[in-house]
Amino acid sequence: MKNYLRRLYIDGQIFLWYRGHIHIEQCCVERLRVFPGTNKRSFLQIEFWQGDQETIVGSDQSGVIYWFEHEETYNLNRPAVIAALIRYALQNGWNNKTLLWQNGIELLALSKAPSDLSEPHPDYYQITAWVPRDAKEVSPNET
């Protein structure tokens, strides 16, 4: 499937961007690539890696990141989320040259990107359930 470039205007500047889902070493990764204007030689690339029960990226909805530690859901298909990430990058030294951030999960909070927990992951409450380390297994017959 071809990734189509989407257009986004931020503070009078034009940016082209796309988001894709890839697998690296059997790990799900959402990748965002932003081009300043029509220059496709340099870009901002942010990767969102799936963590061990900490984050789920694009599992049931492409472009959606579930960050359980912060009880947040981010949709990388929303231009408002992309705009927040671009603004953060510009404020922190991105000067339209190629820049790669591999830990995009933290950038979501730092950039104050809008989140939406109205649609949590279907397994949200099962995954985040806290079980004490000294808990004993009890069979259904023991009550």
pLDDT tens digits along 106-138: 898 899 998 875 555 455 444 444 444 444 444
On the CB side of 71, how many CA atoms lie within 13 Å of its CA?
Answer: 4
- Which among 40, 18, 105 is positioned nearest to 70, based on CA atoms? 105
Residue-level pLDDT at 133 = 43
Confidence band of 102 (pLDDT split at 50, 70, 90) = confident
pLDDT tens digits along 39-82: 788 899 999 888 766 777 766 667 888 787 777 888 898 999 99
Structure tokens that stand for 53 in this block: 């029960």
Q: What is the pTM of this model?
A: 0.77
Residue-level pLDDT at 25 = 82
* Class of residue 105 by CB neighbours under 10 A (exposed 0-12, middle 13-18, buried 19+): buried
Q: Which residue has the higher pLDDT, 56 or 17?
A: 17
With a cut of 50, say whether residue 22 has pLDDT above it. Answer: yes
Residue 112 DSSP label? T
